[in-house]
Structure 1
Amino acid sequence: MRLRAGATSDSELEAIIHAGGRRGQIYAALKGLRDKYADLIRSRYPKIPRRISGYDLDQLLPENGFHVARALVGTEGTCVTVIEATTRLVHSPPYKSLLVLGYPDVYRAADHVVELMACGPTGLEGLDDRLIDGMKKLNMHPQDLRLLPEGGGWLVVEFGGDSKAESDDKARAAMAALKASPAAPTMKLYDDPRTKKLIWKIRESGLGATARVPGQAPTWEGWEDSAVPPASLGRYLRELRRLFDRYQYACSLYGHFGQGCVHTRIDFDLESQSGIDRYKAFMDDATDLVVSLGGSLSGEHGDGQSKAQFLSKMFGSELVEAFREFKTIWDPRGRMNPGKVVNPYRIDQNLRLGASYRPPRLATHFTFPDDRRSFAFATTRCVGIGECRREHDGTMCPSYRVTHDEEHSTRGRARLLFEMLEGEPLTRGWRDDHVREALDLCLACKGCKGDCPVKVDMATYKAEFLSHYYEKRIRPRSAYAMGFIHRWARLASCAPRIVNAIARAPLTSNLAKAVAGIAQQRSIPSFADRTFVQWFRSRTVHPDAARLPAQKVLLWPDTFNNYFHPDTAIAATEILERAGCEVVLPARSLCCGRPLYDYGFLRQARRMLLEILAELQPHLEDNASVVVLEPSCLAVFRDELLNLFPDDALAKRLAQQSCSLAEFLMTRVQGYSAPRLSQSILLHGHCHQKALGGVGHEECLLKEMGATVTVSDSGCCGMAGSFGFEANHYDVSTNVGELVLLPAVRAASPDTLIVADGFSCREQVEQCTGRRAVHLAHALKAAGRESAVQKDRPAEEQMLPAVAWRTFPVELAATVLIGAGVTLGALGAWQWRRR
């Protein structure tokens, strides 16, 4: 039956009952329930701003208008399915000012909540020092944390108004009142939108900063949203901390302090029987505490299974019986979300882990050092926040933003991997096609590693899964054509002009793309006539370099900048030498193996890293910095390398001594003076770059040069290495790019220089917009040449006359002519051997 419900007057109620039918029956039963329990409801329901525990039977009282819809709010799917809802909006003032107050501790901060609420804020949030410590250990918002005033507990207070002056005046009035108090807090007032956003990000990161802190036990929900009257908040937090200490739990406290709602995740031991017994005892005592202060077990998220068994302590047995009757009115057969709120499961039933949890011991390539060295435990990292389902800001999760399908979100994929290892409902383990299909559209952008509050690393999980899924199986042809690009590029460099001539012919170009699994819409790139390494070995050293004291730096000649775009590496060499550095290269031809991870070739990737460590050992022991121009290659040295070799001292040195060009110039060259560049710049960060540190060094360097820099909050470009070249991913690739980046590039004026260090990012920009993004090295080399830039011509073509822009883009697909032949030969030989 479909039913539209809302407030009901006495006359309407009588008419509905008189009309009979299922609706009349329900309303008659609800009226009877209200009349039976009205006095108990009035006396036992907490009078607090936040209460979601139990059912909202108080909404059926005459003074509340017999509001059936509101009585159903928060029933957690145990009574009805909501198809449509009309919500009551709260006015959001157009201008807001943010006041942050620092106190010696969070308890004294809580003591001032009532005083501040009298000032009429639109929001009042609180957080403690343990939360900030967790963020520091996770390297979350390191720059933003400096914005907080001195203290050990903070209140974030927002004031609104119809003008900036009005909101500022309200905040200053509150500051004046606080300054007059005997224990005045430290204060900072923010009215700049960008800074306010950074402060709110600190508060919003609370869950992520407490779920998986390095060196600490994982934390869990269970007592995560209790609420008390705001006047009792200080006392409640002190008593709750004593309870934590008694049970030896260490956790932070934060939440919606203006409404008395407290968030916390607790390091319950839910994997041993003794730990579970301690958890149950704590929950019992915590319930007694919150009830003694007139509070609620749940102030926001609901009771579900974890707290419903304690509802009798909060409401009494008679009202719990009323809850049962209320559910029966709507769900007489008890089929709606059973075991929740009414007749609940025990809190130790259906635990995700539990005393019987025995994760499978898997032989994996990655070691997962931050997850007990267990891939199984890594799959429990996701706590279901759903940040990966957001539509704006950040990088995560590009495939979800295009498909809007839960299985293509980070959360959905993490859940599937957990179920795969549990063997229920997925039963095929590493060979499960459901998991492979969910991971197929993962761009391996590492956006989740940077944006996910608990740092789920789906790119690594995907690589590990694919390595096992394809064990003793043939991979898609694109995996061989593009995964081993370093080999095909080396072969093609022997006769680049011949390869390029064949690649430009329409017939052979289309054939090559078809054989290699590349989208026909993509362009076949060209090889450079001379590789960067060839140029370096035969060059004359820049004359400025001989006059400067030399600081040794190893410039990493990655596959893309060596074989396809040597001009970028040449520019970087000249910049480094002008900065007083002695530039050296590895003696051997090496590749970090970045494309191999996208296809699960982890044995080969591991061998390549061992070769690199052996080759670079003398340079690393000489403390030479390793400057890496391609962000995805730098990510290998800082991320995959340490996951594969967490205990290797040389691997740690390579990770520590590797850096980007901007990072090197800004932090490792003493007294570096950047050349002037009075240019408007649109700066786009590669996904791996953003996940492992961001583009702060690039932005600072360009601003120091005098450029006007706009950092594009564009997420993933959509190319994602070879992903966007593959025929079955082309549409997703371009749709991802069209979310933010490509429209931003088209909107940029011709005299705006587009800077993107990522090779694939530059390819996506050029192939989809016709504009040419440049590496930071080109911007640095061109500094000083921009004085005569014409506003109606693309800046990159005017500022970089020495760059020989090719007719065709430069990326992985360039190798298909050789790679396709080798691939077909290898596949044919493999099939023949099987016969």
Structure 2
Amino acid sequence: MLQNLAGSGSNPASASAEAVDMSALEAELRRVIEGEVRFDGGSRALYAADASNYRQVPIGVVIPKTVEDVVETVRICHRHGAPILSRGGGTSLCGQCCNVAVVIDFSKYLNKVLAIDTGQRTARVQPGCVLDDLRDAAERHGLTFAPDPATHTHNTLGGMIGNNSCGPHSVMGGETVDNIIELDVVTYDGTRMTIGGGDEQLRAATAEGKQRCADILARLGDLRDRYADEIRTRFPDIPRRVSGYNLAALLPERGFSIVRSLVGSECTCVVILEAKVRLLPSPPVRSLLVLGYPDIYQAGDHVPEVMRHQPIALEGMDDRLIEDMKAMHIHPEDVELLPSGQGWLIVEFGGTDKADSDGQAKRLMAALENVGNPPSMKLVDDPQIERHIWKVRDSGLGATAHVPNKPITWEGWEDSSVPPARLGEYLRKLRALFEKYGYECDLYGHFGQGCVHTRIDFDLETAPGIAKFRDFLYEAAHLVTSLGGSISGEHGDGQSKAELLPIMFGDTLMQAFRDFKNIWDPDWKMNPGKVIGAYRADENLRLGTHYNPPAQPVHFHYPSDSGDFSRTVLRCVGVGECRKKSGTMCPSYMATGEEMHSTRGRAHLLFEMMKGEVLRDGWKDESVHEALDMCLSCKGCKGECPVSVDMATYKAEFMAHYYDGRLRPASAYAFGLIDRWARLASAMPRLANFFTQQAPFDALTKKAIGIAPQRRITPIAAESFARWFGRKQPRPGGRRVILWADTFNNYFHPEIAKAAVAVLEHVGCEVIVPRIHLCCGRPLYEFGMLDRAREYLQAVMRALSDDIRDGTPIVGLEPACVSVFREELPNLFPYNEQAKRLEKQIFLLSEYLQDKMQHFSRIDRPAIVHGHCHHKSVLKMDAEESVLKSLGLDFHVLDSGCCGMAGSFGFTKAKFDVSMRCGERLLLPAVRNAAGDQLIIANGFSCREQILQSTQAKPLHLAQVLQMAIRQPQKGEASHGSDR
């Protein structure tokens, strides 16, 4: 039987869940449904939290493959008395997406755009459909779905309907509730119905003699009649009101819209199977105007004036947000794009052409010139700068969650809203309330609709801190309602706001809410304890007074988290940016659609490992190992996660502890110590290649070390680069530069290092290559060989001691190796002054040469560029693009994410399929489709291997491209770019 899963919650929902026979429920689900049924500890731990302050371990998880799977899951749960929770992207901030229930995750399979009707401007979608997938499909027809929360790259339509989501462009098209036409749903007792279009379908079902439908229709009509006057009186008539059930939709003047009354019900009433949504014309051209004010309060005062000019978006942010962005080094160059001020409004206009949208912006500017205290103004002309300014606003969560030398901030009062005309007043009073309670926080949000976002440094670990947190919530609720506002203007009620609803709606409407839920869910098993009959805001906290993870000896320093690994695992705020389908993060999730393969999923498992309740084996836990083993260590999360979760480092840390005292698999020693095997093989390359390249020995070698049979083992070069360089005639004079002869370009691809020598000497450098074997140890981190990795770095610092002290530049060719010196070195040796010096004097070839490009001739060729993951995420591509522009290349940097090879990852048999899915997502098709004269540029050894082993192309390293610019290409040289 289910025991002790509901945390500290005292709600009756906990008791009802405890009566469920988990084994019998799981067995029946496995027998009946086609989808995946997961009741193991790892899966339950994975879904125990969302993006909120709350944690409740579910009974189990069902991942349906068909609508019939969903219906059968509901039927079986009803028979066993098990609560149900529908889940989309798991991005909810108020606790509505975690519960002691059977979680139905729609996002893996039921995620399609089913149809778009351009004539009617509608679309039909499955509940797991990601918003941007719908928007991208609609944009091909000049249409869009207006609500666009910050999580639009990965949130789902089902979740948006459940929460009544909004976003910046709700100014243009309203909340989600305003854009839902029809819902196919199933109730807990198994009744299926289609609701919408004036709810004729429900009436038709009633006419057909479906008693349950008739009962629902009659009882909703009765509820409307009994509470209509109270609804008209107590529901605030404001642009953003997401609190409570949408009973106002049932009023006669609102068309008695049952479908809209269900939007925002957070899976407490029905399970959504499919939705028909409204699409709007998407403005083909947009203009951005940024207004700067002396403070955020005066910016708030000007909102009504700005809104009179009908922008399609109006956002606000204060100076504290900008200061925190600077402290977090988030888009520092973008911050400089803002006009002068201490508070800003970002105003977007849409038009039929640029003259139209710019004209609207200029009319607003002229109007503001004639009001008292006009703001500073900046009309942005460059679309790229527009995107950069939007990045500043979108960085609110990342900039405020984990600011150095400040406490962690949390949700809890992050989306209140007021009438826009009272926004300035509310901002002043809200800041005063923060000061009364001693809270520090930033203010930003959807100011055009009076919605204010913030994260607050609540103390959620001590009894006094939690009591103060709850007192603040009550006082803040009284403040916002006194101004005619709403407790929630975007994120819903869930658990964090639910107990505050009586302040906003009064006892009579609270009874109406209970009646509404009872009509749909008389068993009270749909997401129980949320919205109505809810847990208190201080129950089920992820932390709470019982949170006391044991201190852990760790290898890395974790400077951003004061060296405390238990704080490191709190870094993930759960908004799921890692579940997007573009960029680098997170390649394994893009390939599998598995929550455990997302950065968030892995972070949640590490948290649960530290907590030790569901996952009790600590560093030896197999569920955590399974999730982290599929991490490609791409560091995409370090560069793209809004709070800089660094899963590659956490994986290395975990693997070090996991394998402490036990043997690693053969592949770990084969690939982790590749520098040693390569050095040994280079002494007898013919013999080594005979056993790795010739049948049947190559197959036996692959089998012995776990390499996929489809892969080719990269042959050892006939002569290593270091040996060639030792024979080379030296060219003394000029600036002394050390060329880092990494394992891959030394033993496997020496032609690249030779090209680098030619290029560096061409610009007047005296190139030095260390005479002794040195390695940065990059492959060791994949397998957690951290003690050995430290030894490798110590050997480097000893061997290069004098050059490090002299400031001799060190130029690296392999991005993964350079990133070791920028990332792992300071994290392993935080107090070593030589390490600090070395970190600052290691350069990529492009970084070293970007101000020396006058020495090279132009190459008028098209090119596609694939950036190595560490290059994009840690080192950044700015210098690379600068060099390529100087060469005159007509190049395009692919948004190809990770190539999928990722060191040893793509070579291993168990990971080959995921590796190829990563590559085939964009990179490999782009290479195959490249024109015959197009250069393929990829600096990473792994990236080139993936291309070489999966296409007919021959990719080039930047060093080889630069060598082409020293002289005219010789006959046949162009084939380096694209022999296919």
TM over 0.5: yes
1:198 to 388, 403, 406: 388
User: Counterpart of 1:645?
Assistant: 829
- 1:736 is the counterpart of 2:926: no
Relative to 1, partners in 2 of residues 1:609 and 1:241: Cα closer, same or farther, differing over 3 Å? Answer: same
Q: Distance in 2 between matches of 1:644 and 1:354?
A: 32
Q: Deviations over 1:771-819 (max 9, x none)?
A: 122121111121054578999x635379xxxxxxxx9xxxxxxxxxxxx
User: Counterpart of 1:62?
Assistant: 252
Q: Is the 8 A contact 1:665 1:672 kept in 2?
A: no
Q: Distance in 2 between matches of 1:359 and 1:140?
A: 30
- 1:748 is the counterpart of 2:927: no
Relative to 1, partners in 2 of residues 1:14 and 1:66: Cα closer, same or farther, differing over 3 Å? Answer: farther
Count of residues in correspondence between the two structures: 790
Q: Deviations over 1:589-634 (max 9, x none)?
A: 1111111111121221122122222222222111222222111111
Q: Distance in 2 between matches of 1:790 and 1:35?
A: 84
- 1:225 is the counterpart of 2:407: no
Partner letter of residue 59 of structure 1? A
Q: Distance in 2 between matches of 1:178 and 1:116?
A: 8
Q: Structure 1 stretches of 5 or more lacking a match?
A: 799-806, 808-835
- 1:178 is the counterpart of 2:371: no
1:480 to 656, 661, 669: 669
User: Counterpart of 2:877?
Assistant: 695
Q: Distance in 2 between matches of 1:625 and 1:249?
A: 46
Q: Distance in 1 between matches of 2:370 and 2:969?
A: 56
Deviates more, 1:434-443 or 1:453-462: 434-443
Deviation of 1:192 (Å):
4.1
Q: Distance in 2 between matches of 1:15 and 1:348?
A: 43
Deviation of 1:740 (Å):
1.4
- 1:391 is the counterpart of 2:576: no
Q: Deviations over 1:69-104 (max 9, x none)?
A: 211111112222222222222332222222222222
Q: Is the 8 A contact 1:609 1:641 kept in 2?
A: yes
Deviation of 1:251 (Å):
1.5
Q: Is the 8 A contact 2:194 2:202 kept in 1?
A: no
| SS of aligned partner of 2:278 | coil
The share of aligned pairs that are identical, in percent, is 54
Relative to 1, partners in 2 of residues 1:33 and 1:522: Cα closer, same or farther, differing over 3 Å? Answer: same
| SS of aligned partner of 1:525 | coil
User: Counterpart of 2:615?
Assistant: 426
User: Counterpart of 2:546?
Assistant: 356
User: Counterpart of 2:327?
Assistant: 137
Q: Distance in 2 between matches of 1:369 and 1:761?
A: 31
Relative to 1, partners in 2 of residues 1:473 and 1:361: Cα closer, same or farther, differing over 3 Å? Answer: same
User: Counterpart of 2:517?
Assistant: 327
Deviates more, 1:738-747 or 1:713-722: 738-747
Deviation of 1:724 (Å):
0.7
Q: Distance in 1 between matches of 2:749 and 2:224?
A: 76
Deviation of 1:129 (Å):
2.0
Deviation of 1:575 (Å):
2.5
| SS of aligned partner of 1:350 | coil
Deviates more, 1:441-450 or 1:168-177: 168-177
| SS of aligned partner of 1:87 | strand
User: Counterpart of 2:678?
Assistant: 489
Partner letter of residue 178 of structure 1? L
Relative to 1, partners in 2 of residues 1:529 and 1:347: Cα closer, same or farther, differing over 3 Å? Answer: same
Q: Is the 8 A contact 1:399 1:442 kept in 2?
A: yes
Q: Distance in 1 between matches of 2:364 and 2:928?
A: 46
| SS of aligned partner of 2:357 | helix
Deviates more, 1:283-292 or 1:4-13: 4-13
Q: Deviations over 1:650-707 (max 9, x none)?
A: 222222222211112236x7x9755433332322211011111311001112212332
Deviation of 1:40 (Å):
0.9
Deviation of 1:23 (Å):
2.0
User: Counterpart of 1:711?
Assistant: 893
Deviation of 1:9 (Å):
7.2
Q: Is the 8 A contact 1:680 1:753 kept in 2?
A: yes
| SS of aligned partner of 2:196 | coil
Q: Deviations over 1:454-508 (max 9, x none)?
A: 1111111111222222222222221111111011011001111332244332222
Q: Deviations over 1:746-794 (max 9, x none)?
A: 2322222222221111111122122122121111121054578999x63
Deviation of 1:726 (Å):
0.8
Q: Distance in 1 between matches of 2:377 and 2:769?
A: 52
Q: Distance in 2 between matches of 1:85 and 1:21?
A: 24
How do residues 499-578 of structure 1 correspond to structure 2 at under 5 angstroms? 499-542=688-731, 546=733, 550-578=734-762
Q: Deviations over 1:185-237 (max 9, x none)?
A: 23333354433333222222221121112222111111111111111111111
TM-score by structure 2 length?
0.77
1:262 to 426, 449, 452: 452
How do residues 377-388 of structure 1 correspond to structure 2 at under 5 angstroms? 377-388=567-578
| SS of aligned partner of 1:271 | coil
Q: Distance in 1 between matches of 2:301 and 2:969?
A: 60
| SS of aligned partner of 2:892 | strand
- 1:165 is the counterpart of 2:355: yes
User: Counterpart of 1:831?
Assistant: none
Partner letter of residue 647 of structure 2? M
Deviation of 1:43 (Å):
0.7
Deviation of 1:320 (Å):
1.4
Q: Is the 8 A contact 1:752 1:795 kept in 2?
A: no
Q: Structure 2 stretches of 5 or more lacking a match?
A: 1-190
| SS of aligned partner of 1:326 | helix
Q: Is the 8 A contact 1:587 1:615 kept in 2?
A: no
| SS of aligned partner of 1:738 | helix
User: Counterpart of 1:794?
Assistant: 975
Q: Distance in 2 between matches of 1:795 and 1:646?
A: 42
Q: Distance in 2 between matches of 1:11 and 1:784?
A: 73
| SS of aligned partner of 1:582 | strand
Q: Deviations over 1:701-744 (max 9, x none)?
A: 22123322322221111111111111111121111111111222
2:867 to 685, 706, 713: 685
Relative to 1, partners in 2 of residues 1:657 and 1:514: Cα closer, same or farther, differing over 3 Å? Answer: same
User: Counterpart of 2:560?
Assistant: 370
1:583 to 749, 767, 775: 767
Partner letter of residue 652 of structure 1? K
Relative to 1, partners in 2 of residues 1:427 and 1:763: Cα closer, same or farther, differing over 3 Å? Answer: same
User: Counterpart of 2:908?
Assistant: 726
Partner letter of residue 322 of structure 2? I
2:433 to 225, 232, 243: 243
Partner letter of residue 69 of structure 1? V
User: Counterpart of 2:92?
Assistant: none
Q: Distance in 2 between matches of 1:586 and 1:385?
A: 46
Q: Is the 8 A contact 1:467 1:602 kept in 2?
A: yes
- 1:771 is the counterpart of 2:953: yes
Deviation of 1:7 (Å):
5.5
Q: Distance in 1 between matches of 2:481 and 2:562?
A: 38
Deviation of 1:10 (Å):
10
Q: Distance in 2 between matches of 1:331 and 1:641?
A: 57
Relative to 1, partners in 2 of residues 1:18 and 1:408: Cα closer, same or farther, differing over 3 Å? Answer: closer
Q: Distance in 1 between matches of 2:499 and 2:407?
A: 26
Q: Distance in 2 between matches of 1:398 and 1:283?
A: 39
User: Counterpart of 1:783?
Assistant: 965
Q: Distance in 2 between matches of 1:14 and 1:440?
A: 53
User: Counterpart of 1:412?
Assistant: 601
Q: Distance in 1 between matches of 2:242 and 2:289?
A: 29
How do residues 108-123 of structure 1 correspond to structure 2 at under 5 angstroms? 108-123=298-313
- 1:619 is the counterpart of 2:808: no
Q: Deviations over 1:290-324 (max 9, x none)?
A: 11111111011111111111111111122112212
Q: Distance in 1 between matches of 2:930 and 2:968?
A: 17
Q: Is the 8 A contact 1:685 1:694 kept in 2?
A: no
How well do the aligned residues superpose, as a CA RMSD in angstroms? 2.4
Q: Distance in 1 between matches of 2:522 and 2:622?
A: 40
Relative to 1, partners in 2 of residues 1:507 and 1:340: Cα closer, same or farther, differing over 3 Å? Answer: same
